[in-house]
Structures are given as C-alpha cells and as structure tokens.
Amino acid sequence: MSGTPAACAVLAAELQRLRTRHDLSLAALAERTPFSQSSWGRYLGGKALPPWQAVQHLCALVDEPEERFRALWTVAESAPSRSPDMPADPDTLRPALRRGAVHRAAIGVGLWPVVLAGPFARCLAGDSWSSAVDALAFVALAAIAYFGLGVPVPATVPRWERWCVGAVGAAVVADVVARAPRLRDDLSLADAVVPALALALAVVAAADRLDGPGARSSPLNWPLGEGDWQIVEGDGRLLNHHWSVPAQRGALDIVGRSRGGRSSRPLFPRRLSDYPIYRVPVLAPAAGTVVSARDGAPDHPTAGTHPAGNHVVIDTGRERILLAHLAPGSVRPARGERVRAGQPVGLVGSSGNSTEPHLHVHAVRDGEPLALVFHDAPGGHRRGVRARVRRRPADGARGA
C-alpha cells in the first residue's frame, strides 16, 4: 500500500464521512463508478490507498469540491514511512500522547493531596500556632498557585476535587479560628518561611498578570462560538511556552471543558474523540482575506509537519490572525479567499506540534505580537481562565 497507514486512514475516514452524509451504499458506489464494491470496501476501510480517480468519482457524485481531498490524497500517497508508534486508526492517541495525558492527569489529580495532606493533618492533630500557621500558609500557597498562575492547570483537575480541596481548606481555616484561644504559642523564625514563600509567589503572580504584549488587537469574535472553554496557555511570561517565540507572546491555547471540568471526558483519554473540543467548528474571528491555508497533516505529531499543523491565516487589514492545529480535511477556505466574521474555516484538531486537541490562536501587527481582545469573551485571558461564551454578536460586527 502506498503512503502511511495513518495518512490513508485519515483520508479513508473523510471519504467515509462523505459517503455516510449522502447515504451512499458500497453497492451504489460500485454501480455508479468504475470501481468494484470490494475495492470501495478496502478504500473506505483504510486498507488500501484509493487511486485519485476513485476520489474524484466520489466527489463528483456528491457535488463536493475536490481541493481538500486532493490535499489529503497527496499526503497519503507521498508520505514517508510512519513512526512505529503511529496508530492506524486516526482517532486513537499514539502512545507518546497517551503517556502525556496520563502525566497531566496524575499532576492535576495528585498535586494538591501530596502538597496539602501533611500540613492539614498536623494542623488538625496539633495544638500549637506553629502547625496552624504552617497549614494556613500552605492553603494560601495552593490558592495563589491555582488562581494566580494556573498550577495545576485547571483543565486537568476534576471539578469534584476542586470542591473537596476548597471545602478542606475552608475547614482548616475555620478550625484554626475556633481553636485560636487554646493554641500553644510556640512560633519561631522558622515558621515564617512558608508564609514568606506564599507572599513572594503572590507578588510573582501579580507581576505576571501585567506582563504581555503592549499592543492590543482589534475587537474580535471568539473563534469557537458558544460554549464552555478553558485557556491553558495565555497572557504572561511565566509558565508560558509561547513566550520564547516573540510573535506568539499574545497567543492562546484553548481547550473544551467536559461535564467533569476537565479537558477530556475520561481521566485517562485514549482517543481524540475523548476531548469535547475535538472537531468543534472554528470560526473566523474577523472578516479578512486568507493569506495562508494548509491542510493534509494528520492529527498526530509527525516529522516534517508544519508546527502549526493544518492552519489558516487571515489578514484583516489591521492584523494577521493564525488559527492552528486544525483537523485534517477540515480546512475550508483557500488562499486568497475572502471570509466574513463568524464564517466556519475548519474544525479543531491536534495536528502539528500538539499534545492534545486544542485551538491555538494568535495575532500580529507588522510582525509585533498583540494581546487578543474579544467582543464575546471580555477580560484577561491568562493561563487557567474559563471562558463561557453564551451569545455571539452579529456576524457583520467586523465587516463583510
């Protein structure tokens, strides 16, 4: 079979969706094209790369433009041998990404219990101000790290754990207040270490909120429409992996939120479809002209793939906006095409340099990074912020 199994599977999945959407059976395809029913079974099952003529025939049958399927077919036909851990099923997370998901889940679920269990136990069992101050300082440290710096990343922490930790923290504070008159005064200079760390971390978090691009974008539409979203990388220099690339210093990485409050439905995801943001429509944040459009990269990090994966760049006349890591076969506009604000341009994927399905968006003006401003998601967009978008402005808000 020519091409990589993964690339063929991506093409097959898109052809299968096309066939299903138009209710075409294998027998109908065999009757209306020069290819047999068994051949179509192999092509749509990802067991064989279809000849380009077969793809053309299917597109013609359903009156579908050929351009994006041509891009997928070209990648599948010419791609080098796949990495040994690349799954044949395009929806399956490759082992490296599954391990990363497990590590993030372990940190998200386990960090608070590991850090807070000891001080809480000593406070509840002790009768001295030393243990009480220690526990209160650790509560402050945890709150500042989470709300000020996004550590652990909120999208990795289950909602139930946030409530439990909050309740335990409140119980510790209430216990110290209630027992304050009876606590033994054994404070020493060493007891000031953790409170000093909490104060220093608060200063760092406050300074980080002020650190970012000086210039702001024009008011844009949120690129994912209505929903419940989480920013896992955003404003600020500290802990922001975008900062090392000057043009991306105002970039946002956005994930979806499951009912449990995490970016994936199961604690340990195994498939791309376990992430609620996967294949959500991506909308043009503003009217403009597409100056770059790339498609055909698989939803897994692959050698030689553009870091942004499948992406669209829109020139609004005031800034250039990059929408990256789109799903293969989903990029709609072509280079030079005019798009309106709110127009679908693709689907969220995990192509390029991506550890899980998410949308990367950033804007530049004359090569300089911009802090992003949105009509329907006002406020700061630092790491850990939740964006609940309930109402979109009219598509014409930014022109046609």
Q: pLDDT tens digit string along 225-253?
A: 899 999 999 988 888 889 889 999 999 99
Question: Is pLDDT of 126 > 90?
Answer: no
H or E segment at 195?
Answer: helix 193-209
- In the chain, where the domains are located: 5-78, 95-209, 227-398
Query: CB–CB of 357/306 below 8 Å?
Result: no
* CA 382/CA 292 separation, integer angstroms: 27
Cα 167 from chain centre: 29
CA distances from 318 to 133, 301, 367 (A): 53, 32, 12
Task: Report pLDDT for 393.
Answer: 47
Under DSSP, the state recorded for 5 is H
Query: CB–CB of 337/283 below 8 Å?
Result: no
* CA 199/CA 70 separation, integer angstroms: 58
* CA 197/CA 141 separation, integer angstroms: 8
* CA 345/CA 311 separation, integer angstroms: 9
pLDDT digits (tens, 9 = 90+) for 162-180: 999 899 889 889 999 999 9
Mean pLDDT of the chain: 87
* CA 300/CA 9 separation, integer angstroms: 12
Which residue is it, tokens 């004359």? 366
pLDDT digits (tens, 9 = 90+) for 332-354: 998 999 999 999 999 999 999 99
Instruction: Name which of 294, 286, 291, 300 is nearest 374 in CA terms.
Output: 286
> Residue-wise over 212-226: b if at least 16 C-beta within 10 A, else e?
bbeeebbbbbbbbbe
Average pLDDT over residues 189-214: 90
Question: Is pLDDT of 86 > 80?
Answer: no
Under CATH, which architecture does the 5-78 domain have?
A: Orthogonal Bundle (1.10)
Task: Report pLDDT for 373.
Answer: 95
pTM: 0.78
At the topology level, CATH places domain 227-398 in Glucose Permease (Domain IIA) (2.70.70)
Higher pLDDT, 324 or 380: 324
Query: What is the DSSP secondary-structure string of 242-295?
Result: GGGSGGGTT-EEEEE--TTSSSSSSSS--BGGGSTTTTPEEE-SS-EEEEEEE-
Question: Is pLDDT of 130 > 50?
Answer: yes
Task: Report pLDDT for 400.
Answer: 41
Question: Is pLDDT of 79 > 80?
Answer: no
pLDDT digits (tens, 9 = 90+) for 42-60: 788 877 788 888 899 899 9
Percent of the chain topping pLDDT 90: 50
Query: Radius of gyration (Cα) for the chain, nearest Å?
Result: 25
Task: Report pLDDT for 239.
Answer: 87
What lies within 8 Å, CB to CB, of 43 at 6+ separation is: 12, 15, 35, 49, 50, 54
Task: Report pLDDT for 128.
Answer: 92
Question: Is pLDDT of 4 > 90?
Answer: no
Question: Is pLDDT of 370 > 90?
Answer: yes
Percent of the chain topping pLDDT 70: 92
Task: Report pLDDT for 87.
Answer: 59
* CA 96/CA 102 separation, integer angstroms: 10
Task: Report pLDDT for 285.
Answer: 97
Angle between helices 95-125 and 159-179 in degrees, nearest 10? 20
Instruction: Name which of 210, 229, 173 is nearest 357 in CA terms.
Output: 229
* Burial of 157 per CB tally in 10 Å (0-12, 13-18, 19+): buried
Question: Is pLDDT of 358 > 50?
Answer: yes
